[in-house]
Structure formats: structure tokens, C-alpha cells
């Protein structure tokens, strides 16, 4: 009986669990710029990864208090937010962007629990403020480097407001879809104005 239960659990994990590539992506740090990485918690706790990528600043964008197994020369900034649409991300956008920009001693790692919503949203704000990217461009870069990112709808609304604050207008709007309210990214092309839905 125990043997069959073990076989059934293994079968369910293989068929219904995450793919190996998804599992691996969640455990690695995605390089966004030459000195900026995004990850989940597992990568942030990996001493070798932190050392090999010369991480000198870790931004913890989660509601977890984390004890990092790294030397004392790594600065930690805790941004205590939950991955919920009503959470106030906007008060942290400038602070985090400035902190990333001012880290001249090494690389920065921005992480949340899975590296899918909170940390990518904060990094997109940095890309807008200091890399002069519009939100649609920052979104493209993020999805290119970490394809499974999905900031929640509330974070998207706050990023849209931040883009308006920085540039005076926005390149992303929220639209109703059968899957709920999602961001629609407008790519400005001289020939066409096509829309691409980030689902």
C-alpha cells in the first residue's frame, strides 16, 4: 500500500507539479542589467550566487523577515509588502530606485518570495526612473529576462501612475478581459499602434 502511495505521489508531482524549467527559474537570479538581478527567496539565500555575482545590496520585497547567510558587507533593505493588489507599493518606488542607482560598490539583487510580482514591479520602476524606459519597455525587458513575471493588477496601476508622474503620460492601461483586469501594453510603432496583452 505504501509503495503504491509513493508511486501515485511521484506521478502527480511529475504530471501536475511545476516543470523542471519553472522550478529552476524560481531558484535562479535573472540578470536584468549588468549589475541588477531579480529572484525569489531561494536565490537570495544562496551564498555562492551572492558571492559570484558580487551582490552588495539585497532588497527584500516581501513581508518576511529573512536571515541571510552572507558576509557583513552585503547591505539589506527590507520593503515589507504583501503580494496583494491593495498593498501600497508606490511609497517605495523612488526609495528603491534611488537605492539601486546609488549602489556603486557591486551588484543589486531585488527579491520577493518567488520573483514574480513584487520584485519585478520595483525593478520596472527603477528602469523607468534611471534607465529612461517607458513602462511598456520596462515590461518588455522584464519579460524577456524573466518570462514568468506577473505583477498583480494593483501593482500595475501604481506603476502606471508612476509612469505618468515621470513622463507625463502612460504606455500601459488596464483592461477587462475574461481572465480579469489585466495590463495592456501599447507599443509605439511608427507604422502601427498594436497592443499586446500581458497575460
* Nearest CA among 29, 24, 75 for reference residue 52: 29
The answer to whether 112 is a known catalytic residue is yes
Q: Is the pLDDT of residue 187 over 60?
A: no
CB neighbours (10 Å) of residue 33? Answer: 16
Report the C-alpha dihedral over residues 10, 11, 15, 19, rounded to 10 degrees. 30
Q: What is the pLDDT of residue 23?
A: 39
How large is the average pLDDT for residues 18-46? 78
pLDDT digits (tens, 9 = 90+) for 94-131: 999 999 999 999 999 999 999 999 999 999 999 999 99
In the structure, what pLDDT confidence band is assigned to residue 70 with cuts at 50, 70 and 90?
A: confident
Domains of the chain: 26-154 (3.90.190.10)
Select which of 5, 16, 35, 112 is catalytic: 112
pLDDT digits (tens, 9 = 90+) for 87-102: 999 999 999 999 999 9
**Confidence (pTM):** 0.80
Amino acid at each position: 500500500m505504501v509503495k503504491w502511495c509513493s508511486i501515485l505521489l511521484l506521478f502527480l508531482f511529475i504530471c501536475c507539479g511545476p516543470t523542471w524549467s519553472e522550478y529552476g527559474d524560481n531558484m535562479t537570479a535573472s540578470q536584468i542589467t549588468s549589475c541588477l538581478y531579480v529572484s525569489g527567496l531561494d536565490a537570495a539565500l544562496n551564498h555562492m550566487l551572492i558571492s559570484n555575482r558580487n551582490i552588495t545590496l539585497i532588497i527584500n520585497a516581501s513581508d518576511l523577515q529573512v536571515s541571510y547567510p552572507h558576509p557583513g558587507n552585503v547591505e539589506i533593505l527590507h520593503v515589507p509588502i504583501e503580494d496583494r493588489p491593495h498593498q501600497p507599493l508606490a511609497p517605495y518606488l523612488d526609495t528603491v530606485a534611488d537605492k539601486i542607482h546609488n549602489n556603486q560598490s557591486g551588484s543589486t539583487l531585488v527579491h520577493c518570495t518567488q520573483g514574480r510580482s513584487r520584485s519585478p514591479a520595483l525593478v520596472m520602476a527603477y528602469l523607468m526612473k534611471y534607465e529612461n524606459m517607458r513602462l511598456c519597455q520596462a515590461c518588455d525587458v522584464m519579460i524577456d529576462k524573466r518570462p514568468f513575471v506577473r505583477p498583480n493588477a494593483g501593482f500595475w496601476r501604481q506603476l502606471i501612475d508612476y509612469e505618468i508622474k515621470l513622463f507625463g503620460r502612460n504606455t500601459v492601461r488596464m483592461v477587462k478581459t475574461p481572465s480579469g483586469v489585466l495590463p495592456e501594453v501599447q507599443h509605439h510603432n511608427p507604422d502601427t499602434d498594436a497592443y499586446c496583452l500581458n497575460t
